[in-house]
Amino acid sequence: MRAGDSVRTGSPSGAAPLLQEHPAEALAAAEAILRERPGLPPAELLACQALRRLGRAEAALPRLAQLAHREPRVPAVLWELAQAASEAGETEQAIAALEKLTQRQPGVASGWFLLGAELRNAGRAEQGWRADLSGVHAASRDPELLKAAMAMNEGQLDESEAMLAARFARQPADPPAQRLLGEIAWRRGDMGEAIAQVRTAIEQAPGYDLARDFLIRLLLQSNMLAEALEQADILAASPLQSPGYHLLRASVLVRLGDQQAAREVYERLLAQDPAQPQVWQNLGHVLKTLGRQTEAVHAYRQAVTHQPTMGEAWWSLANLKTVKLGTEDRPAMLQALAALEAESAVEAEEDVFHLHFSLGKAFEDAGDYAASFRHYEQGNRLRRSMVLHDAAAFSAEVAATAQTFTAPFIAAMGDGGCPARDPVFILGLPRSGSTLVEQILDSHSQIEGTMELPEMMIIASRLQSRVDEGEFPDFRAMVAALTPADRLRLGEEYLDRTRIHRRTDKPRFIDKMPNNWQHVGLIRLILPNAAIVDTRRHPMSCCFSGWKQHFARGQTFSYDLADIGRYYRDYVSLMAAYDAAAPGAVHRVHYEAMVADTEAEVRRLLAYLGLEFEPACLEFYKNDRAVRTASSEQVRQPIFRDGVEQWKNYEAWLGSLKDALGPDLTNAGLPT
Q: What is the pLDDT of residues 276-327, one digit of tens each?
A: 999 999 999 999 989 898 999 999 999 999 999 999 999 999 988 778 888 8
Q: Do 318 and 457 belong together in one domain?
A: no
Q: Do 333 and 446 belong together in one domain?
A: no
Question: For 365-419, what is the HEC assignment?
Answer: HCCCHHHHHHHHHHHHHHHHCCCCCCHHHHHHHHHHHHHHCCHHHHHHHCCCCCC
Segment 9-22 shows an average pLDDT of 67
In a 10 Å sphere around its CB, with 0-12 CB exposed, 13-18 middle and 19+ buried, how is residue 69 labelled?
Answer: exposed
Q: Residue type at 71?
A: E
Q: Do 416 and 544 belong together in one domain?
A: yes
Q: Is residue 367 part of a domain?
A: yes
Residues in the chain: 672
Percent of the chain residues past pLDDT 70, beyond the cut: 93
Q: Do 404 and 321 belong together in one domain?
A: no
Q: Which of 353, 386, 419 is the last residue of a domain?
A: 386
Q: Do 364 and 397 belong together in one domain?
A: no
Long-range contacts of 595-602 (CB under 8 A, 24+ apart): 595/639, 595/640, 595/641, 595/644, 598/639, 602/440
| 26-35, 90-99, 511-520, 628-637: range with lowest mean pLDDT | 628-637
One DSSP character per residue, 127-145 reads: HHHHHHHHHHHHHTT-HHH
Nearest to 541 by CA among 511, 509, 565: 565
Mean pLDDT of the chain: 91
Q: Which of 139, 173, 196 is the last residue of a domain?
A: 139
Q: Do 599 and 460 belong together in one domain?
A: yes
What is d(CA 64, CA 70) in angstroms, rounded to the nearest whole number? 10
Would the pLDDT of 631 be above 70?
no
Q: Do 374 and 523 belong together in one domain?
A: no
pLDDT band for 489, please (50, 70, 90 cuts). very high
Q: Is residue 184 part of a domain?
A: no
What is d(CA 502, CA 499) in angstroms, rounded to the nearest whole number? 5
Plot region of 522 (φ>0 → left; ψ -120 to 50 → alpha; else → beta): alpha
Q: Do 337 and 484 belong together in one domain?
A: no
What are the start-end ranges of the H helices in 414-474?
434-442, 455-468
Q: Do 484 and 620 belong together in one domain?
A: yes
Segment 597-604 shows an average pLDDT of 95
How many structural domains is the chain composed of? Answer: 3
Contact 538, 456 (CB under 8 A): no
What letter would DSSP give residue 506?
A: -
What is d(CA 301, CA 298) in angstroms, rounded to the nearest whole number? 5
Q: Do 488 and 538 belong together in one domain?
A: yes
Q: What is the pLDDT of residue 73?
A: 85
Long-range contacts of 630-633 (CB under 8 A, 24+ apart): 630/319, 630/321, 630/430, 630/431, 630/435, 630/549, 630/551, 631/321, 631/431, 631/435, 631/436, 632/288, 632/289, 632/291, 632/435, 633/288, 633/291, 633/293, 633/320, 633/321, 633/322, 633/323
Q: Is the pTM here over 0.95, yes or no?
A: no
**Domain membership of residue 473 as a residue range:** 391-667
What is d(CA 68, CA 458) in angstroms, rounded to the nearest whole number? 57
What letter would DSSP give residue 348?
A: G
Q: Largest Cα–Cα distance in the chain?
A: 104
Would the pLDDT of 122 be above 60?
yes
Would the pLDDT of 345 be above 90?
no
The CATH number of the domain holding residue 575 is 3.40.50.300
What is d(CA 182, CA 190) in angstroms, rounded to the nearest whole number? 9
Q: Is residue 355 part of a domain?
A: yes
Q: Do 415 and 357 belong together in one domain?
A: no
The predicted-structure confidence for 192-246, as pLDDT tens digits, reads as follows 999 999 999 999 999 999 999 999 999 999 989 999 999 999 999 999 989 999 9
Q: What is the pLDDT of residue 347?
A: 79
Q: Do 376 and 497 belong together in one domain?
A: no
What is d(CA 298, CA 33) in angstroms, rounded to the nearest whole number? 80
Q: Residue type at 33?
A: I
Q: Is residue 285 part of a domain?
A: no
